[in-house]
Structure 1
Amino acid sequence: MSRGITLLPIANAPNIGRCNLKDPNLNECVGKNIEDAVRKFKDGAPQIGIPPFEPLKISKMVIGEGTGPVNVQQNFENIELFGLTDSKVLKEIVDVEQDKHYCESFSPKLELIGDYDMNGRVLVLPIRGKGRFNIILYNSSLTHNLTMEKYTKKDKTYLKMVNYLVTITPEKMHYQFDNLFDGDERLGSQINKVLNENWDSVYNDVRQGYENSFGLIFKGLADSLFSRVPYNEIFIVE
């Protein structure tokens, strides 16, 4: 364990590590604490406004049309994200002076389940439907670029997110859209098969939409914590 780690004193909340900003192993400390926090918030911390991370409920995601094979807007609602708490932090770089963080993480399985609605074309094939969907991203490498700024509230200093940029590179993906073409099982099965056989082309054409959506999701989670916990209760400032 890195030097300078203590426990964050929030009543009835999971114990979260703190890092000394002068710790020579600050990057290691912050990376470990982020990974630990994600696991400890598995069931959430309602007393400080943190929702359960497993599954993480997302009200809506919109993945716009691509410029290549994906000529359809994908509208997702009532989403549950599974697998976030199994993520591992591989690298963390903290820029204390600029309030910037760079992180590399790995998620063995990220699974999205919810309701979808779309009507358009994918790989020149028509696709139309409304119902339940299941999308799985396997062995995903993620990068996180965070820019924050400090502000004062009731004589205490807090952090807020200015930007949260994410890249997501999965090793493989699986798509399942139920009730395509008003429940035509033959057509629906064929389209799902084509999507899975060409998952990389399908994903890469609209990956910016997924990355933007995940960036907003992660930004919201970070703001939920940082808006409630003062800066000096997250970091030890000497």
Structure 2
Amino acid sequence: MTKNSFKRCHKSDPHFDACLVVNIEDAIHKLKNGAPELGLDSFEPLLISELVIGEGSGPVNVQQNFKNVRLHGLTGSKVLGHKASLDENVLFAQSVTPTLRLEADYDMKGRVLLLPIYGQGPCNVTLVNTKINHTLHGELFDRKGKTYMKFVNYTVTLRPEIVRFHFANLFNGDDRLGDEINKVINDNWSEVFTDVRDGYERSFGLIFQDLANRVFTRVPLKDIYLD
């Protein structure tokens, strides 16, 4: 895949934002098998070496440390809307991802819903039908006579319909206790996820910012937006 594989929109097009919606979704699907020339070796799953979700201020008094993360489902995302304020270098978008599944090796110790929890091993966190609002702030820079954009801030909000958790090997492999705590967490998924949602949103914002910059800092703006 090359930069010319991506469709482009004319800034003068009265339907510019609608064009962006179609083309962004097309680009996401084309990246399914990665794009090494853009620094994207794998997109399905997306590989992340480490992810840390800090403890919440309510029922989740435990830091979640994830390693060898495999993030599945991003290429199934559908863009619902997009707005570009090109003069201010600000982009807004809303998407929905049917299934966003995080598989990783976890390590944690603390309390959830006042219950002690500790363990390390494989885990699975699945967000279903997640609406994601994206806000990107960029800065322009020139290189070899061409203008590029670098995103200096990327914030997201995550609103899943439901979240499913599974942590294997809790309590040193005590299956009975492990099954019980997994059930409690899933029965109270909304309260549990809401308490640590800020941590997930910050982490996903950094992940998406890195992905966007791998493209935008390599592809000149003239090859993304046509005058």
**Aligned match for 2:210, one of 215, 220, 238:** 220
Q: Quick one: which amino acid aligns to residue 175 of structure 2?
A: E
Query: Quick check: 1:199 aligned with 2:189?
Result: yes
CA deviation string 1:105-154 (max 9, x = no partner): 11110000010000000000000000000010001111001111110111
**Aligned match for 1:183, one of 173, 191, 210:** 173
Q: How many angstroms does 1:52 deviate by? A: 2.0
Instruction: Check 1:122–1:14 CA distance in 2 against 1; reply closer, same or farther (3 A cut).
Output: farther
Q: Quick one: which amino acid aligns to residue 194 of structure 1?
A: V
**Identity value in percent:** 51
Q: For residue 127 of structure 1, what is the aligned residue in structure 2?
A: 117
Q: For residue 24 of structure 1, what is the aligned residue in structure 2?
A: 14
Instruction: Report if the CA contact (8 A) 2:3-2:223 is conserved.
Output: no
Separation in 1 of the partners of 2:142 and 2:3?
Answer: 23
CA deviation string 1:73-130 (max 9, x = no partner): 0000100011111100001111111011111111110000010000000000000000
Instruction: Report if the CA contact (8 A) 2:170-2:177 is conserved.
Output: yes
**Aligned match for 1:42, one of 32, 41, 49:** 32
Q: How many angstroms does 1:12 deviate by? A: 4.5
Separation in 1 of the partners of 2:39 and 2:183?
Answer: 41
Q: For residue 86 of structure 1, what is the aligned residue in structure 2?
A: 76
Q: Quick one: which amino acid aligns to residue 49 of structure 1?
A: G
Separation in 1 of the partners of 2:221 and 2:80?
Answer: 24
Q: For residue 56 of structure 1, what is the aligned residue in structure 2?
A: 46
Gaps in structure 2 of 5+ consecutive residues: none
Q: How does 1:70-85 map to 2 (within 5 A)?
A: 70-85=60-75
Instruction: Report if the CA contact (8 A) 2:59-2:191 is conserved.
Output: yes
Q: CA RMSD in A?
A: 1.1
Q: How many angstroms does 1:155 deviate by? A: 1.4
More helix by share: 2
Query: Quick check: 1:155 aligned with 2:171?
Result: no
TM-score where L is the length of structure 2: 0.97
Separation in 2 of the partners of 1:222 and 1:47?
Answer: 14
Separation in 2 of the partners of 1:234 and 1:181?
Answer: 51
Separation in 2 of the partners of 1:13 and 1:114?
Answer: 32
Q: Quick one: which amino acid aligns to residue 110 of structure 1?
A: L
Q: For residue 117 of structure 1, what is the aligned residue in structure 2?
A: 107
Instruction: Report if the CA contact (8 A) 1:38-1:53 is conserved.
Output: no
Q: Quick one: which amino acid aligns to residue 225 of structure 1?
A: V
Separation in 2 of the partners of 1:13 and 1:236?
Answer: 14
Separation in 2 of the partners of 1:35 and 1:116?
Answer: 32
Moved over 2 A (4+): 11-14
Q: Quick one: which amino acid aligns to residue 201 of structure 1?
A: E
Q: For residue 3 of structure 1, what is the aligned residue in structure 2?
A: none
Gaps in structure 1 of 5+ consecutive residues: 1-10
TM-score where L is the length of structure 1: 0.93
Instruction: Report if the CA contact (8 A) 2:3-2:219 is conserved.
Output: no
Instruction: Report if the CA contact (8 A) 1:13-1:45 is conserved.
Output: no
